Amino acid sequence: MEDFTTQSDNDLILAAKKGSDGAFTALVYRHDRTVLSLIAHYCKSSDDAKDIYQEVFLRVYKGLKRFEFRSEFSTWLFRITTNVCLSYQAKYKRYKKVSLSPSADDEHPTLDIAALGEHEPDNQLISAEKSAYVRNAVESLAPKQKMAFMLKHLHDYKIKEIAQIMECSEGAIKKYLFLATEKLRLIIKPN
């Protein structure tokens, strides 16, 4: 049995193109957390996230033979993930909830009273309320604005990388980020 853990993405891709299911599985395991993270930030429903996840890797499996190494595999994978998220949203005409917290299953921020320690409970409650307020504001963004915003601010991608992932110009990404920021400023601005 071949050990795929030490091989590069390019080596795994070449092996998968030749029919190695183990190499493809290793690629999936190597990148699935990042894909799940992006999906979880884009939609709230775990059922929807599972559907999107399966669709992403089905497209990767079908399209891998045509992958030509013109970009990093991760950029190509995130482009597919972004397109599936946007297509899924457009198809079902509903906004997905964005979770800015690590847990995608939390509908509302929760307080762990036992973990408060020396912190003031009032400060924890205010922080949880602010998080919910910001989360709701991000939910209100248009789909491409939300995706650009999340890739930039939650995943720390550069504008050039986001443009590659979303298959549009850097100028379009700057516009999405500007519009998202302006909308969030209006929603979140203090009274």
At residue 105, the pLDDT reads 44
Count CB neighbours of 123 within 10 A: 10
* Per-residue confidence (pLDDT) for residue 176, from 0 to 100: 92
Which CATH number goes with the domain that contains 6?
1.10.1740.10
pLDDT for the residue numbered 46 = 81
Q: Which domain holds residue 12?
A: 1-95
Residue 38 CB neighbours (<10 A) = 23
Closest CA to 145 of 86, 74, 99: 86
Total domains present in the chain: 1
Residue 31 lies in a domain: yes
One pLDDT digit (tens) per residue for the chain, 191 residues: 577 888 899 999 999 999 999 999 999 999 988 898 888 877 777 888 888 999 999 999 999 999 999 888 988 998 899 888 888 877 765 443 444 444 444 443 333 333 334 344 455 455 555 666 677 778 788 888 888 888 888 778 889 988 988 889 999 999 999 998 888 888 877 65
**Is residue 11 in some structural domain?**
yes
Residue 111: inside a domain, yes or no?
Answer: no
CB atoms under 10 Å from CB of 169, counted, come to: 11
Residue 68 Cα to chain centre, angstroms: 24
Asked, for residue 119, whether it belongs to a domain, the answer is no
- How many Cβ atoms sit within 10 Å of the Cβ of residue 87? 13
The structure tokens listed for 35 are: 């894909």
Domain-embedded: residue 106? no
Q: Is residue 58 part of a domain?
A: yes
pTM summary value: 0.60
Task: Return the pLDDT at 70.
Answer: 87
Specify the pLDDT at position 106. Answer: 43
Whether 1 maps to a domain, the answer reads yes
